[in-house]
Amino acid sequence: MWSEDDFQYAIENTEVILAPQSRIATFGQTSFRFYLISELMDRVNEVRVRDGRIHAERPQIVTPDHYARLLLEGFGEKAQRFAERLRGQAQKFAVLRYGFQFRKTDVVEKCVRARMSSVIEQTRRQVEQADEPLSAVIQGVDDAWEVCLLKFTIDLIERSSGDNLGEFRRRGLV
């Protein structure tokens, strides 16, 4: 089982070499392709390249009223009062909920005997030349590659949320 240090190590050693040119679409689903590159720990100059997809569902608005209804289920009078306060503050804030589907069946792995830096550079050039605007090249940790991928998706949500919320506001949905 992994320790907290293993997770922290994976997070700290995740680097986006080439980010997608687009953000998560406000309306509709967005599919991102990723190339996650990691060095095999037990072999010199052997690198694993994982090629796969992450599917981001359309962001949903979660309003204070929605939170209030969730809070009330199975709670007492204090929760009821707090829920009423949230309803009174409805115009002040809303939260976007993002859904991701990560399908391991979409992931293809290959091992390459080369230096990590050359594999990263070659993959970056390949993506740029193929004009793949919804692709990312990520450097990560081999054993905890899924943690690295989750870190990437969280960063992608952070980059997208301001634009998504702004678009919801422009359309009068928030």
pLDDT in the model for residue 12:
92
Q: Is 149 found in the same domain as 114?
A: yes
Report d(CA 61, CA 58) in Å as an integer: 10
Q: Is 16 found in the same domain as 45?
A: yes
Domain count, the chain: 2
Report d(CA 38, CA 141) in Å as an integer: 5
Q: Is 27 found in the same domain as 78?
A: no
174 — pLDDT class (breaks 50, 70, 90): low
75 — pLDDT class (breaks 50, 70, 90): low
The parent domain of residue 66 ranges over 61-97
Q: Which of 97, 124, 144 is the last residue of a domain?
A: 97
Q: Is 122 found in the same domain as 36?
A: yes
Nearest-10 crossing angle of helices 145-170, 4-12: 60
Q: Is 107 found in the same domain as 54?
A: yes
pTM of structure:
0.76
Q: Is 158 found in the same domain as 127?
A: yes
**Averaged pLDDT, 92-110:** 67
Q: Is the pLDDT of residue 85 over 80?
A: no
